Amino acid sequence: MNLLLHVCCGPCSIYPVSIIQKAGISFSAYFFNPNIHPFKEFKSRINALAYVSNNLKFNLILEKDYELKEYLRQVVFHENNRCNICYDLRLRKSVEYAVAHNFDAFSTTLLYSKYQNHNLIIDTCNQLSKQFGIEFFYRDFRKGWQYGIDQSKKLDIYRQRYCGCIYSEHEAFDKRFRKKIRSKTLLEHPR
């Protein structure tokens, strides 16, 4: 099998790459993430990913164009559905690349994060698999969550505190917003 692995960042790639390498699967990693904001964050993630790629010895294909405008055009006024739109945007481009370059299958490091909507990612990948006629290589990479964290610390690479988009950046750093969300959640779901 020749696999294209969509990668979102260095830390999240460590465990999935180790699993794929141990399985002896030929693969290339593909970075396409127009959701990442701001531009300095985008560059930091590329640099960390390049470091991981050199360290773990895997081929890395980087889409270095900063396509934030395209991402925003799709999610503005659809913020409540932004993750679905974002997954589709990034994974669709990855699948199109995989098909155009004769890969047999695709997967994504988004399946590593405990903070992503795992089932929605699987659904999106299955839909794209059917639409483009390419195999979706599924593994529940969340099992290696702590391993990835430990290794990224060991490698001393940049580790981000939010998924990448402007909305998650706001949610991660605005204490008043987080407090408001916690209060709302407690009102809707009292213990």
Mean pLDDT score of the chain? 88
Residue 120 pLDDT level (bands cut at 50, 70, 90): very high
Q: Is the pLDDT of residue 191 over 70?
A: no
Q: How confident is the model at residue 130 (pLDDT cuts 50, 70, 90)?
A: very high
Q: How does pLDDT run across 12-48, given as a tens digit for each residue? A: 999 999 999 999 999 999 999 998 888 998 999 999 9
Query: If you write DSSP's letter for every residue of the chain in order, what string do you get?
Result: -EEEEEE--HHHHHHHHHHHHHTT-EEEEEE--TT--SHHHHHHHHHHHHHHHHHHT-EEEE--S--HHHHHHHHTT-GGGHHHHHHHHHHHHHHHHHHHTT-SEEEEGGGT-TTS-HHHHHHHHHHHHHHHT-EE----GGGGHHHHHHHHHHTT----SS-SSHHHHHHHH-HHHHHHHHHHHHHHS--
Whether 175 has a pLDDT exceeding 90, the answer reads no
What is the tens place of the pLDDT at every residue in 132-144? 999 999 999 999 9
The model's pLDDT over 58-109, given as tens digits with 9 standing for 90+, comes to 999 999 898 989 888 988 888 787 778 889 999 999 999 999 999 999 999 9
For residues 36 and 168, the model is more confident at: 36
**CATH code of the region 2-165:** 3.40.50.620
Summarize the confidence of residues 152-159 as an average pLDDT.
87
Q: What is the pLDDT of residue 74?
A: 85
**pTM of the complete model:** 0.87
Domain ranges of the chain: 2-165
